[in-house]
Amino acid sequence: MKKTLYLLIFVYISLLVNARHIIPSKTEGIKTNEWELHWHDEFNKKSTIINKWNTENGSPAHILSSRWHENIEVRGGHLQIKNIKQNKGGKNWTTGSITSKQKFKYGYFECRIKMSKATGVNNAFWLYCTNPSQKSNHCFEIDITEGHYPNESYNNIHDLGIKEKRCNNQLSQKHLVSPNIYGAYHRYGLEWNKDTITFFIDGKMVRTEPNLFCHDEGYIVLGTSVLKWAGEITPSIDGTSMSVDYVRVFKKHKGE
């Protein structure tokens, strides 16, 4: 019994030590020695979904698919968000979406993703705040990537207004990913601080904007949806998936 307990303690400590040695991948403008790992999910265990994420179950009005827990799977060290031709929730397609239980404010966010090989699917990694503090009182959304077959990645900053007067003003920009978004994994990153919001693809800075209103804690969301503006909706969507290798959040060392 004691040997088993000691072994479990050793494994737990080893995991903590290894996690602390994870640093941001080589990224333009990011000095790796200034950052430390704050939160992450490597999707190595099925229990991670229960422990770190909330799963959407329902049929959002603004998309052409419903989203269910059954479309979320952790397999082979990757998160799989599956797109299925299925009549459920009043829609002809089912997809999936998970939201972090923890909220975050500022830092460097990175996710390694291989996206769905089909038009009509929106593959997304984003942050949102819909219940801001009384101090900031400003709702917002930061789309680190919205990927569309075969090679488009959109990053967006949504001004959702104050709680008493909601709106949706959007700053959007499109980038082309070489050679495509579905054949291999690509890194999508965001450096978010009080002054600027900067987007990265595969370590290359692709966009920076002044931070005018994103000053509160937000949740991380990973998910897919079937949408008309993501391209033609065809039977080829069925059986595709968005595959996630990891999602990581880094904070600057204290005092920096």
- The domain that contains 161 carries what CATH number? 2.60.120.200
Give the SS3 label for residue 105: coil
Domain containing 228 equals 38-251
Q: What pLDDT is stored for residue 32 in this prediction?
A: 80
**Confidence bin at 75 (pLDDT 50/70/90):** very high
What mean pLDDT is predicted for residues 82-111? 98
Closest CA to 172 of 156, 188, 158: 156
pLDDT(114) > 60:
yes
Q: What pLDDT is stored for residue 76 in this prediction?
A: 96
Q: Is residue 23 part of a domain?
A: no
Q: How far is CA 170 from CA 41, 158, 160, 161, 256, in A?
A: 29, 4, 9, 11, 31
Q: What pLDDT is stored for residue 253 in this prediction?
A: 84
At 139, the amino acid letter reads: C
Higher pLDDT, 138 or 54: 54
Q: Is residue 202 part of a domain?
A: yes
Closest CA to 109 of 17, 35, 185: 35
Q: What pLDDT is stored for residue 81 in this prediction?
A: 99
Q: Is residue 5 part of a domain?
A: no
Q: Is residue 60 part of a domain?
A: yes
Closest CA to 200 of 116, 115, 110: 110
pLDDT(17) > 80:
no
Distance CA 107, CA 11 (A): 28
pLDDT(10) > 50:
no
Q: What pLDDT is stored for residue 210 in this prediction?
A: 97
* Number of domains the chain is built from: 1
Q: What would the two tokens of residue 66 be? A: 């419903």
**Confidence bin at 16 (pLDDT 50/70/90):** very low
Q: What pLDDT is stored for residue 21 in this prediction?
A: 60
Give the SS3 label for residue 122: strand
Q: Is residue 49 part of a domain?
A: yes
Q: Is residue 96 part of a domain?
A: yes
Q: Is residue 217 part of a domain?
A: yes
What mean pLDDT is predicted for residues 48-73? 97
What mean pLDDT is predicted for residues 168-183? 93
Q: Is residue 28 part of a domain?
A: no
Average pLDDT, the chain: 91
